[in-house]
Structure 1
Amino acid sequence: MSQLETIRTAADYLRARLPEAPEFALVLGSGLGGLADRIENPVYIPYGEVPGFPLSTAPGHAGQFVAGRLAGRAVLCMQGRFHYYEGHDMAAIALPVRVIKALGCRALILTNAAGGVNYDFSVGDFMLITDHINFMGANPLRGANEEEIGPRFCDMSRVYDADLQKTARTVATEKDLTLREGVYLGYMGPSYETPAEIRAFRTLGADAVGMSTVPEAIAASHCGLPVLALSLITNMAAGMTGKRLSGEEVIEIANRRGPVFQDLVEGIVAALA
């Protein structure tokens, strides 16, 4: 089956089960899936039921679509995502983004839990991603290109939409929340980075590091889907505090700061034009 056929088959399957056509899509990262609990009249569709979709195995990821209304807007949430470190190829990671575009969504909001690389950041901070560095050693656009999806050579100078960022800043100010801004570096994982790698990443201009988001943002840029991306800083990266890193800490901080983060994202959805 070609890429286009896979996308269309999955989109048709979802379209037949969604309560209405979604305006916006959200990808909820590690420990942040609780936002889906705020969706009114939710419809749940496990990824394993969608033709062509793999299963999500990451801790803290429910592995399902949740469709309904959030802040009065029709949304489609991914409660959990696919990661390169799980063994999925990049095409599998790009597929949900392309399906979201095929369903007619006007914008994609990506969220993640990330490690702070910038010494001015603190655990629990929120960061607006203004750009990224792809350090995963792979690209979701590698291989045969379908021109109906996007161009062979994809411009990456405006991956993160300026108007969506402006909305996020406004909502954060209205809610009296500090919204950091910076560059997110995508790292393959699943091992955490070494202190030497973090020093190198800081020299390269990274403010936060994580194991997701970048492939999705590339796929969205390729198919012309506007992107807003936000990180919750759940830990300071290796070597910055002398503490050992653990997935349990990431989930703990995400759960603790999750409700505030969810308020921010819900406010952004409500304010979208």
Structure 2
Amino acid sequence: MDHDYPNAVRLARDEICRRWPCEPRAAVALGTGLGALTRHLQCEATIPLCALAGFPQTTAPGHSGRIVCGRLGGVPLLVFDGRYHLYEGHPVDLITLPARVAHACGAPMLIVSNASGGLNPHYARGDVVVIDDQISFMRRGLPTSTPASAGTSDRPARTGTTPYDEPLVLHALQVARRHNFVAHRGVYVGVTGPNYETRAEYRFLRWIGGDVVGMSTVSEVIVAHALGMRVLGLSVVTNVASPDAPQVVDAAEVIDAAAHAEPHIRQIVADAVGT
């Protein structure tokens, strides 16, 4: 595979703009089981990720591996239906390519979504969590191949702040109240996976302040924030950890729970990009 990631960003931008000459209002990264959102787009172009130079096929369950360009409520969106993960053996530079491509295409906002395990005992399966901060256990660090001038060097662009846009967080919570579904604000913990957490790990992650845990999102968010994009993060709670009464969780259950919550994610996305 070509590891010239800056060149891969340029080539992907050029190909997307050739097929879809429109500047997106936002980019959306869909998590496991949330691909149904694309069925509600007025689709104007579909591009398999693997058709772009430097982008391999996605392999994780619930990730179709394509870019859907279209409109939701008349608003132009660049939707990444599928993502890459560290547990698939990919470097962080590849995992963050979609965020960098979205920025190169002119998207000022990145909306990331994911399926997550609930750490907070007050959460329930199917709840939406609007992420207001994150804790990263992605031990492979930040992307290294993009020059500092692009905002993604291995030195943090800002310190002491959250990468999530507070007005977008508040707006998402207002949408949930207005449409009468449950949404919390909480902290997302990113781990490498692919194994689900042990009872002791659940206790530890909750103790350090985590509300939900998953295997994606944090690297994309760091890069998007460094590039100056507004970031909104949305998690669907697919199971709630009970360390004293553990249950077996499999990928099919995660996908099913996320799919049932997709209308709520779609409602928040539609309202957020329309503001």
> What is the match of residue 231 of structure 2?
227
Q: CA deviation at 1:2?
A: 4.3
CA pair 183-240 structure 1, distance change in 2 beyond 3 A: farther
Aligned to 2:187: 183
Deviation, 1:167, is: 1.9
What SS does structure 2 have at the residue aligned with 1:16? helix
Q: How does 1:126-165 map to 2 (within 5 A)?
A: 126-141=128-143, 143-150=144-151, 152=153, 153-154=155-156, 155-156=158-159, 157-165=161-169
Q: What residue identity is the alignment partner of 1:204?
A: I
Per-residue CA deviation, residues 88-120 of structure 1 (Å, 9 max, x unaligned), is 110001111111101100100000000000011
Question: Scaled by the length of structure 1, what TM-score is found?
Answer: 0.93
Whole-Å separation in 1 of the counterparts to 2:43 and 2:116: 31
Task: Tell me the secondary structure at the aligned position of residue 55 of structure 2.
Answer: coil
1:239 aligns with 2:243: yes
How far off its partner does 1:144 sit?
4.8
Equivalent residue for 2:264? 260
Amino acid at match of 1:147: A
Secondary structure at the aligned position of 2:149 is classed as coil
Relative distance call for 1:245 and 1:162 in structure 2 (3 A) is same
Q: What root-mean-square deviation, in Å, do the aligned CA atoms of Structure 1 and Structure 2 show?
A: 1.6
What pairs with 1:26-37 in structure 2 (closer than 5 Å)?
26-37=28-39
Q: Can you list the C-alpha shifts for 1:214-238, whole angstroms capped at 9, x where unaligned?
A: 1111111221211100000001136
Q: Which runs of 5 or more residues in structure 1 are unaligned?
A: none
Q: Letter of the 1:90 partner, please give it.
A: V
Q: Distance in 2 between matches of 1:19 and 1:5?
A: 20
Q: For the residues of structure 1 that align with 2:20 and 2:242, how far apart are their CA atoms?
A: 42
2:99 alignment partner, one of 97, 109, 133: 97
Identity %: 39
How many matched pairs?
270
Matched, 1:209 2:210: no
Alpha-carbon distance, 1:33 to partner: 0.7
How far apart are residue 256 of structure 1 and its match?
Answer: 2.2
Could you tell which deviates more after superposition, 15-24 or 97-106? 15-24
Structure 2 length-normalised TM: 0.93
In structure 2, the partner of 1:10 is 12
The one-letter amino acid of 1:137's match is R
Amino acid at match of 1:49: A
Q: AA paired with 1:53?
A: F
Deviations 1:111-166, CA, capped at 9 Å, x for gaps: 0000000011111110010100001212233x355133116422251300112112
